[in-house]
Structure 1
Amino acid sequence: MNHPGLHLPLGPLMLDVVGTALTEDDRRRLRHPLVGGVILFKRNYESPEQIAALTREIHALRSPHLLIGVDHEGGRVQRFRAGFTPIPPMRRLGEVWDEHPQRARLLAKDAGYIMGAELRAVGVDFSFTPVLDLDYGASGVIGDRAFHRKPQAVVELAHALMLGLHEAGMNAVGKHFPGHGYIAADSHLEIPVDERPLEDLEFADLIPFRQMIDWGLAAIMPAHVIYPKVDDKPAGFSRRWLQDILRGRLGFEGVIFSDDLAMEGASVAGGALERARAALEAGCDMALMCNRPELADELLARLQWPLAPVSLVRLARMHGRPHPPSRVALHESTRYTKAVHHLAGLGPVDAELAFNDPSNTCGKN
């Protein structure tokens, strides 16, 4: 068994932890060579001080430290409440863009800065944001998480949000490649099928991904959606999508994170081991297994997958950059207080809507 702080390269799996502090089972899993990251949920959060202590403990286990990510998009999907600024749903920024594009871009950058700075101040490396899906009005699970129906609006606002995250010391993760907004089915609960040909996707849903890649997007999460006119496998298990199109045609050189392998949309690949292998063989650098500790243990016991050097380099870029020395220093900074003031001009965020919707990367709070 490895000891805390032992030098150990990052592995290809991202797992969750049970509660607000690490258990012995958590430590055992996180010290395993196959693990490279931890995703946090609402159940892991009590206060800024508690979450900072948890991230410190996770980071102390290994060197280089495990990546820590969270679904913190704003609106319905914001894991940490008390002590964090409520971020409006991204559709609200899209509505501003319709009337005042420049104001909307500034607000998106402020939103990204606030999200990034508050998360970095408690030791989180990155958030799984922004959503680059188009809002066709069909998908309940995407809905107001999307900026807009128009690709150009999504491009401009997502880019501004990414610039805000970068300013705060955090990279962005675009999702859900190549687009989850067109169909009503929820991949947390079923296997969605999008019958559109590649040409239709290229002139709509793929536009934000292509442009964000050109602007340096660090990471992408593919959808558990089947596009049968392109491939018979969900995008996250498809070499056609991840290697030929994303890496080849679009020239993406960043991290590919799988969506949660415990979701129903991943079931077409088989059991836990088959799902992980399928995702990694298709081209994912890191595979997520959430909320199923028994499946996580199965993977740790049976999966064999040494990360390629290029994946290690990509993942190293997801470590958060230096952040304010304390939350107090952040809250006293002019940049932060102005950003919070600007965002407050959009009006109050409905707390029930913002914090109690189950929609998220891994399907649970």
Structure 2
Amino acid sequence: MIGALMLDIEGTTLCEHDIEILKNPQVGGVILFSRNIESPQQVRALTDHMRQIRPEILIAVDQEGGRVQRLKQGFTRLPAMGRLGELYQTEPQRALTLSEQCGWLMATETLAVGIDFSFAPVLDLNDISDVIGDRSFAQNIDDIIPLADAFMKGMHEAGMATTGKHFPGHGSVKADSHVAAAVDHRSYQEIFDKDMQTFIQLMPKLDALMPAHVIYPLVDCHPAGFSSYWIQEILRKHLKFDGVLFSDDLTMQAACVAGNADARILAALQAGCDMGLVCNNRTAAELALHAIQDQPLPNQTRLERMRGKIEITLQSNTKWQEVKQDIDAFVG
């Protein structure tokens, strides 16, 4: 069974403390960071060890491309998605082809080392945000939708589930929610007409969503990831989204409005998230884990959709070699 907490580990191998905590039924996932990664062979050994302890555990990573790419040594360097948006202005068909190839290549290389999924793609607009920027495909909806659609098509072809972030949109909020409170004072209609459209129009391709740690006070007083209104009323009821909902990292500064880590994960789960992320702070992760021990396990059918489906041997795969050459040439 898959639990409701996703946490991280300190090193490139599991220590005894890691092994003990992974055995807890409410630990449902592990997210890997750059410090956990030395080579494809080492990552595969690490994920295999995790599954010896908990065969059902979900393993994730942030492998967006550009400045957010945890898998580096021995993996293809991916462009920032914003570069595809720039290319789309002059060579739209080539940009769409490269976007699909990026999605496929990212997913293929990630799955090959035993990681189930990357938290990708970013569906925010590249507007005023201090944290989004070229993580976004483009500045406007009409460019983002076809490029992200192609990227997710590539992910699905490789066998990886997709996770759109950060619903209902972080691009129009200047503050970086990692380090500051983020507040968007627009009306629901303004958000719906602009930022939400990428999520709404791409929803058929989305297996999961990650709500933003942003407060939209004209809609609800809680950040979207802690808001039953955004999650239950808007996403589940109005937009009829039945995919997985992952909280953004609950140690981020913008999440502190909910209290300590125990209060934060309870707030996220009670609002309707399926799994809460507590990263880079083992003390906070243990506090969160203790808080949810008596909580029911999340929706297993939903979470099982996030499991990686296909595994290939890269070096003998002609398509991988050809696509890698195309992406290497584009990145330069």
User: Scaled by the length of structure 1, what TM-score is found?
Assistant: 0.89
What is aligned with 2:85?
A: 94
The one-letter code of the counterpart of 1:198 is Y
What is aligned with 1:40?
A: 32
CA distance in 1, matches of 2:288, 2:129: 32
Mapping 1:148-159, distance limit 5 Å: 148-159=138-149
CA distance in 2, matches of 1:155, 1:246: 19
CA distance in 1, matches of 2:139, 2:331: 22
> 72-81 or 148-157: which moved more?
148-157
Mapping 1:1-365, distance limit 5 Å: 9-63=1-55, 65-136=56-127, 138-213=128-203, 215-303=204-292, 304-308=294-298, 311-324=299-312, 326=313, 330-348=314-332
User: In 1, are the aligned partners of 2:78 and 2:331 still within 8 Å (CA)?
Assistant: no
Shift of 1:331: 3.0
CA distance in 1, matches of 2:267, 2:331: 44
User: Scaled by the length of structure 2, what TM-score is found?
Assistant: 0.97
Shift of 1:91: 0.3
Shift of 1:82: 1.2
Shift of 1:249: 1.5
Shift of 1:342: 2.1
The one-letter code of the counterpart of 1:199 is Q
Structure 2: gaps (5+ residues): none
Shift of 1:344: 2.8
CA distance in 2, matches of 1:300, 1:238: 21
CA distance in 2, matches of 1:80, 1:335: 20
Identity among equivalent positions (%) equals 50
CA distance in 1, matches of 2:202, 2:215: 23
The one-letter code of the counterpart of 1:344 is D
User: In 1, are the aligned partners of 2:76 and 2:328 still within 8 Å (CA)?
Assistant: no
Structure 1 vs Structure 2 CA RMSD: 1.1
CA distance in 1, matches of 2:295, 2:177: 26
- Count of paired positions: 331
Residues 95-122 of structure 1, C-alpha deviation per residue, up to 9 Å, x if partnerless? 1111122211111000001100001110
Residues 202-253 of structure 1, C-alpha deviation per residue, up to 9 Å, x if partnerless? 111111101111x231000000000011101000000111111111111111
Instruction: Mark the CA change 1:272 to 1:347 in structure 2 (over 3 Å): closer, same or farther.
Output: closer
